[in-house]
Amino acid sequence: MVEAPNKAPATPKKEAPIEPGLQVAPGPHLSSAGLTTQRLMVDVLIALVPVMSMALFLFRWFAVLQVGICVVSCLTVEAITSLWRGTRPSLQDTSAIVTGVILGLSLPWSAPWHVGVVASAVAIGFGKAVFGGLGQNIFNPAMVGRGFVMISFASSLGATAYVRSGATLEILTQATPLTAAKELSGNVPGLWALFVGNANGSLGETSVLACLVGGLYLCLRRSAVWQTPVSMITSAAVVAGIANLLMPESPLTVLQHLTSGALVFSAFFIATDPVTSPLTERGQVIFGAGLGALVVIIRLFSNYPEGVVFAVLLMNAVVPMINRVTIPKPLGGLPARA
């Protein structure tokens, strides 16, 4: 029998040894029996409905297929790893489904089936299970899986995908907006098309409108914090603005930066992951600002057209440090550190 040593510290990491669960935050303090991981995850799924509908409209059953593959693989791997670790499979908290859906939405429809399967296995296996399961992972599982296949199957995830915006007969060949900008071919779609989502790209990222609708729902339900997305998008806009001032020949305007690629999708659905984002509000603002800046910097200066995956993974690695820097001042007490 394997004693899983990583099961013990399931409680919050910092406050535990000193005081019995002392949390300092402005009142009112309410606790609710309905406030569970499952509710949070179901909220995310509901918020993803507009995004999924848009993907369904644009890519038809390819979208369903891709998301389905990812969800099924994620659930399978979750069950296997839980059994292996000797814990009850925690499928009912639906976090594996959320990982699967977000992963599926972050892949292009044209990626073959093995891409989704490998991405899901890496996401749940290396992204979550090796750290000890939900709540223990450092990196966003979906982004770990996405990053793995992004490097492994560069050609399958490459930018030469087609848009199928109609029936099977009307196939539109079109580079993704960011690839068009990268290759300076100048075929970046208009702002309205980018906003509504009539452009090529990964399943979930095309429509800013759908992401905003879903994201707004999440923030209003308080299932996601609003600080991270707001600061992420603001910081991306600021950095893109500075870049445009310094390099006027840049192919993308600030608004095009904001509406193309996975920026808005990741701001609402990936950056707000409660496990891998900072605990304090100040920390969430810093986290979002770093993300937005990194996304634009990677877009502008690296060989990759889009920088969300690497930006999220890099910022996730910094989260413990952000948490340490932004320890809140206890009410009526001295500052935590001089």
Partner 1 sequence: MPVPEPTPLERFLNGILPENPVYRQLLGLCPTLAVTAAMKPAMTMVGATAFVLICANLITSLIRHLLKPHLRILVFTLTIATFVTIADRTLAAFAYPMSKLLGPYVPLIIVNCMIISRCEVCSSKQSPKTALADAVGVSLGFLLALASVATVREILGNGSWFGIQLVPESFPTLILMILPPGAFLALGSLLGLATWLGHRRKARASEPHAGSA
Interface ranges with partner 1 (CB under 8 A): 1-2, 112, 114-115, 118, 126, 130, 148, 151-154, 156
Indicate the residue among 66 and 206 with the shorter CB distance to partner 1: 66
Nearer to partner 1, 46 or 130 (CB): 130
Judged by beta carbon, residue 136 or residue 156, the one nearer partner 1 is 156
Q: To which residue do tokens 């609708």 refer?
A: 213
Place of tokens 């569970």: 36
How near is the Cβ of 148 to partner 1 at its closest, in Å? 6
- Closest distance of CB 211 from partner 1, Å: 28
- φ, ψ (nearest 5 deg) of residue 22: -80, 120
Give the nearer residue to partner 1 in terms of CB position, either 1 or 245.
1
We find the least distance from the C-beta atom of residue 137 to partner 1, in angstroms, to be 15
Of 173, 143, 144, the residue nearest 159 (C-alpha): 173
Nearer to partner 1, 111 or 286 (CB): 111
Q: Minimum CB separation from partner 1 for residue 158, in Å? A: 13
Residues contacting 95, CB < 8 A, separation 6+: 37, 41, 134
Question: Closest approach of Cβ 151 to partner 1, in Å?
Answer: 5
